Amino acid sequence: MPTLRGIEPIHRGKVRDTYDLGNGLLLVVATDAVSIFDFVLNAWVPRKGMVLTVMAHFFLTLLDSWGFKTHLVAAGSAIDGYIPDHLRHLRGDPYLQSHGLVVRRLKMYQVEFVFRNHFVAASSAFKAYDPESGGTICGHALPKGLQDGDRLPETLDTPTTKAEEGADEPRDYREVRAEYPRMSETFFDAFKGLSAYTRHHGRLITADWKGEGGIYEPDGAEYIGDEGFTPDCTRLWDVDQWLASQAQPIHQSPPPYDKQIVRAEGIRLGIRGLDPKNPVHIAQVQKIRFSDGILEKTSDVYAEAATRLMKEAPEHYLEHKLGVEGYV
């Protein structure tokens, strides 16, 4: 993937690189990389970074319009106004403008704010659930008899730790509400609003969502951070497919609008169950090749989700809303 000449990232994530612009601002660049089971694959999903950036801008702007504070500062051609003079060669770069966001540098809370509307049998969060006796999740009691894809009796906040490596661990919702009362309420209200929006504007169900937030030290206020609302942080289902499943004796959650196609192929190729901290396993996964067809189908899934929710193709949004020409 392209690198930014003259500046080194302060953090390389699985699919995003973060750069310090100074003055309390960061530049976050979404790549076309894809990760499954905590492995970053030797594969690229075409357009993925662009679609994630466009969707992040759309939904962070939407949340702003609803009165929520988000870390978004600029996107698209507007990024140029925040590029310092010693990096002026990056101004006008179509790749950067189509994959980058300028955001406030937050002091991030060490928790993932996770919310769920539906029971998902494949989710590790529900691995201990027994349909005969029920169960608990992050301190919430679950009723007996839940099937895959069922609507939960109420929206649940199911926070987790924010692990630098490996899987996040569940936390008791009462502890997190006590520790972060305003931020917990903010994310809960945002989730309810986003769930209603996706259903009414895209006929998509928001099964769950995870977000991150923190404090912007220059003003001391709390802000919603991270990517806002994209297929990488939420599970979206087609409404009609979900209704059809619910009409069957045995329920099954619909295919999500995310990297599930890659994940399923990864399972077939034996990646699930390998240790992402084991150098031998990392090297083994890096040798695995995913077909162009799998990657193109995944690209189409991301683009379809964006188009349904924004009511325009991501390329059109990029050009006409963000002023980016010559997208690459």
> Interior CA angle at 148 toward 142 and 152, to 5°?
40
CA 272 to chain CA centroid, Å, is: 21
pTM tops 0.85, yes or no? yes
pLDDT tens track for 281-290:
999 999 999 9
Query: Is CATH 3.30.470.20 the right assignment for the domain spanning 113-246?
Result: yes
pLDDT tens by residue, 48-57: 999 999 999 9
Per-residue pLDDT of 13-69, as tens digits, reads: 889 999 999 999 999 999 999 999 999 999 999 999 999 999 999 999 999 999 999
* 321 in Cβ contact with 76 (< 8 Å): yes
Query: What is the reported pLDDT for 124?
Result: 87
Instruction: Please report where in the chains the tokens 């594969």 appear, as a residue.
Output: 43
Question: According to the CATH classification, is domain 11-106+278-320 in 3.30.200.20?
Answer: yes
Residue ranges per structural domain of the chain: 11-106+278-320, 113-246
Please, are residues 297 and 271 in contact by the beta-carbon 8 Å criterion?
no
Mean per-residue pLDDT for 85-97?
93
Query: DSSP label at 308?
Result: H
Of residues 72, 75, 71, 83, the one with CA closest to residue 7: 83
pLDDT at 116 over 90: yes
Q: Flag whether pLDDT at 1 surpasses 60.
A: no
Nearest to 263 by CA among 252, 255, 253, 251: 255
Q: What is d(CA 236, CA 240) in angstroms, rounded to the nearest whole number?
A: 12
Pairwise CA distance, residues 87 & 106, whole Å:
23
Dihedral sign of CA atoms 139, 145, 149, 155 in order:
negative
Considering the chain, what percentage of its residues have pLDDT values greater than 90? 91
165-210 pLDDT, tens digit per residue, is: 667 899 999 999 999 999 999 999 999 999 999 999 999 999 999 9
Give the CA distances from residue 240 to residues 122, 199, 244, in Å, rounded to whole numbers and listed in that order. Answer: 20, 11, 6
- Encode burial over 102-122: b for 16+ CB neighbours within 10 A, e otherwise: bbbbbeebebbbbbbbbbbbe
